[in-house]
Amino acid sequence: MGVRTMQSARVRTIQAVTFLLCLAAAVISYKLLAKHVTGSSGSAWFDAGCRAASEEAGGADCQAVLESPYSYFPPKREGEPPGRPHTPVALYGLLYYSALGIWVAGIGRPSRRWRWIHLIPLLLAAAGLIASIQLTRIMFTELEAWCPWCLATHILNALIAVGLVLLWPWKPPVQPVEPVEGEAETPADERTERTSTGPSVWRVLGTLAVIALAVYGHRGQYGAMVAKQTGALLQRCIAQVKTLRQDPKQLMRFWASSPQQEILIRPDDPFKTRAARDEPVLDVVVYSDFQCPMCARFARFFEGEAQKLFGGRLKLIYKHYPLDAECNPLVMRTVHAGACEAARLAEAARILGGRDAFWKVHDELFRLQRAGHRGRTYDVEALAALIGVKPETLRVTMDLPEVRKRVEEDIRLAQTYGVHATPTIFIEGRRIHPLATTSAAFWDALADAFWKRIGAPRPPETKPENWNPLGKNAATPGTPGPKDAP
């Protein structure tokens, strides 16, 4: 066998081995990516290799490594602003090994004339080796566990780099050729260059196109994994939310364990109750926004259902917290455009016509919102007619400094109580869980505790005839009453 034949066989062997190393590393990276996103690689043999070899710190545990901040690039940092993009390192590995494998299969070893093109995979491999060294250092010095499969990819990366170096077109030995009589002997270097053929331009372009398609496809696979996992998590969250909304004991426990705060209630704060003057009531403070759909739902639920459970003995006190950057400096961006103007309209109505006028405008603003009204402008003429004042009077009043100051003061106080969203509801100074806002089961259990606290039997009419939250008595024996909560 000639020297050239032996060299060609050796090059083909190195090319094949290097490609297989790239393929193995790409498969491992794909499995690591799947485990990173979903918690399972989908293969028992792979997951078995990931399981902890030791229960002690420093044992093998792929999942712990994949859940660390360093499993992303850039790494996740504590306290960083939300929304910063982070890509799993396993995805970068999948793209990296796939690109190198396609290059080795498509281009392989170029001729000496085209040797410069081999710098592309060599430089990429050099960058990959630096990343492997850094990630290995982090895994063994900063994390409490190490990942066998991650280490395997780093070892394969080093072997791939060796293969790429061996594929560099070093100057080959040339067999002596007998000169033809009458012709000068051709130098060896020139004979080599004449017989060397590099990859064609189309071959290079085709290889790059396949790499681009692989990158696009792998990113699509990652997106599909994330979407599928997000959908599954969403379904579990929805199921848990439904369960929690119907669990009065949990919701009551959350309310009873919330710290009690002294909510400032001014003498002229708008409130409403159906209780007689001498009847005990339960104070409910709501921080609300007239453009907030959930606030509108709560307003309807409160009047239509909650009050009935207490025989009208709930006292609702309204506070402003518009999620509109026009008047609320505590929101990062405007969520409900026009909420500030709506708050000023309601406050102007209170100044002009007292609590009754406020609640008329309150109900009308929420009715308009449910009807689809969005934006920063309202029909001042219609609202003025509703409370019996002139439109110009309402316009002038809503722009008074005292009106703006009242809304701003509600917002400032809301911050001290930890209010960040609407509706936020406090019952006798204790915040309720957001899921309890319109949970009939929670309000029914709270009514049981209220009637027990005031020492009066619960009137039959306060319990809806055809409603039973959990198919059994919704009362929660042992749950603290509003005044007895710890």
8-12, 403-407, 432-436: least confident range? 8-12
Does residue 90 have a pLDDT over 90?
yes
pLDDT at 257: 95
Torsion of CA 225, 228, 231, 232, to 10 degrees: -100
Beta bridge partners, 88, equal 72
- Residue that wins the pLDDT comparison between 144 and 196: 144
CATH 3.40.30.10 domain locations along the chain: 246-462
For residue 302, count other CB atoms closer than 10 A to its CB.
20
Residue 197: predicted pLDDT? 58
Residues 150 and 396: their CA atoms lie apart, in Å, by 69
Does residue 185 or residue 355 have the better pLDDT? Answer: 355
What's the pLDDT score for residue 254?
A: 94
* pLDDT at position 22: 97
- Model confidence at 2, pLDDT cuts 50, 70, 90, reads low
| Superfamily classification of domain 3-78+85-173+198-235 | VKOR domain (1.20.1440.130)
Name the more confident of 285 and 182.
Answer: 285
SS3 (DSSP) at 470: coil
Lowest model confidence (mean pLDDT) among 23-32, 45-54, 157-166, 211-220: 45-54
pLDDT of residue 246: 81
- Least confident segment among 4-13, 176-185, 305-314: 176-185
| Residue-level pLDDT at 479 | 38
Can you give the pLDDT at residue 148? 92
Is 250 a residue whose pLDDT tops 50? yes
pLDDT at 58 over 60: no
Q: Is the whole model's pTM more than 0.85, yes or no?
A: no
CATH class of the 246-462 domain in this structure:
alpha beta
Question: What percent of the chain has pLDDT above 70?
Answer: 86
Whether the per-residue pLDDT at 40 is higher than 60: the answer is yes
Cα-based angle 267, 273, 275 (whole degrees, multiple of 5): 110
pLDDT at 57 over 50: no
pLDDT of 464 above 70: no
- CA 453 vs. chain centroid, Å, equals 42
- Would you call 446 exposed, middle or buried from its count of C-beta atoms within 10 A (0-12, 13-18, 19+)? buried
% of the chain with per-residue pLDDT over 90? 65
Average pLDDT on 146-153 reads 93
297 pLDDT band, cuts 50/70/90, is very high
CATH 1.20.1440.130 residue spans of the chain: 3-78+85-173+198-235
State pLDDT tens for residues 216-249: 999 999 999 989 888 888 888 888 888 887 889 9
Residues 206 and 410: their CA atoms lie apart, in Å, by 65
Q: Which H/E stretch holds residue 250?
A: helix 248-257
pLDDT at 79 (0 to 100): 74
Give the pLDDT confidence of 395-425 residue by residue, as tens digits. Answer: 999 999 999 999 999 999 999 999 999 999 9
Sign of the Cα torsion 209, 103, 105, 42 reads: negative
Q: How much is the average pLDDT of 303-326?
A: 95
